[in-house]
């Protein structure tokens, strides 16, 4: 079985049938980049990256009746936008004002751009938050906020008070354990896999590309195909 996706894009998902069980092999390649006004030394960035990897692996390596998930989350810390590839998931540390006052972070559904606030960084580093990074990654896999789309959540077998895709403020409001609410259902894993197979994922890189002839940002996949000479801008 070939586990390397030839186009280099992630998410990369393959499924394998083994002993009557479906195994979902998932790989996500991501970078961590500080785009905030707070300075973090490299030691802090590395320990943040380790906590983020733990968080994603804990949430996504689930198993149940007839299935299991084998999640490989690769996360590299970069100090320059030039080191970000168009296919990378980009976890950006941002100032609170960049996401709205009551959010820990946000992400484009089906996209490659994930924002996490400096206060989220603090809560992840101190183990007071074991879900926001994995939650935002769920959005890039096409999952919506479970509490805002309850009909769909029901179809995916979601328990709103314990599920990863419920918003933290909702879990708090209903008295759930918002530090650790990080369940994923097989329905949700299947939904990510379907989005992947339909070609919906890995869109909207925050690393903009412009051609030297026009000022128009092109979609990254178009430019990759055209081999235009390009430069990169990472907007705040």
Q: Report the interface residues with Zn ion, using CB under 5 A.
A: 145
Residue among 70 and 145 whose Cβ is closer to Zn ion: 145
CB of 140 to Zn ion, least distance (A): 11
Residue among 131 and 186 whose Cβ is closer to Zn ion: 131
Residue among 108 and 145 whose Cβ is closer to Zn ion: 145
Can you say whether residue 200 is alpha, beta or left, with left for phi > 0 and alpha for psi between -120 and 50 degrees? alpha
CB of 190 to Zn ion, least distance (A): 19
Distances from the Cα of 66 to the Cα of 12, 20, 24, angstroms: 21, 7, 11
Query: Among all residues, whose Cβ is closest to Zn ion?
Result: 145
Residue among 40 and 130 whose Cβ is closer to Zn ion: 130
Residues in the chain: 236
Say if residues 56 and 134 touch (Cβ distance below 8 Å).
yes
Packing angle, helices 132-140 and 118-125, rounded to 10: 120
CB of 2 to Zn ion, least distance (A): 33
CB of 227 to Zn ion, least distance (A): 36
3-class secondary-structure state, position 176: coil
């Amino acid at each position: 079985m070939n586990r390397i996706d030839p186009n280099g894009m992630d998410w990369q998902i393959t499924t394998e049938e083994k002993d009557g069980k479906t195994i979902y092999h998932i790989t996500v390649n991501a970078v961590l980049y500080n785009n905030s006004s707070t300075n973090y030394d490299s030691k802090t960035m590395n320990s943040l990256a380790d906590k983020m990897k733990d968080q994603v692996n804990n949430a996504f390596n689930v198993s149940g009746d007839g299935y299991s998930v084998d999640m490989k989350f690769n996360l590299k810390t970069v100090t320059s936008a030039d080191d970000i590839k168009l296919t990378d998931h980009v976890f950006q540390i941002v100032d609170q004002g960049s996401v709205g006052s009551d959010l820990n972070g946000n992400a484009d559904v089906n996209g490659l751009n994930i924002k996490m606030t400096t206060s989220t960084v603090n809560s992840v580093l101190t183990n007071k938050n074991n879900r926001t990074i994995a939650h935002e990654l769920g959005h890039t896999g096409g999952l919506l906020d479970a509490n805002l789309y309850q009909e769909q959540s029901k179809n995916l077998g979601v328990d709103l008070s314990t599920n990863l895709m419920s918003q933290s403020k909702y879990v708090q409001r209903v008295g759930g354990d918002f530090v650790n609410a990080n369940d994923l259902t097989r329905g949700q894993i299947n939904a990510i896999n379907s989005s992947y197979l339909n070609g919906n994922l890995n869109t909207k890189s925050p690393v903009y590309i412009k051609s030297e002839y026009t000022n128009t940002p092109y979609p990254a996949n178009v430019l990759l195909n055209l081999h235009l000479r390009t430069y990169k801008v990472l907007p705040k």
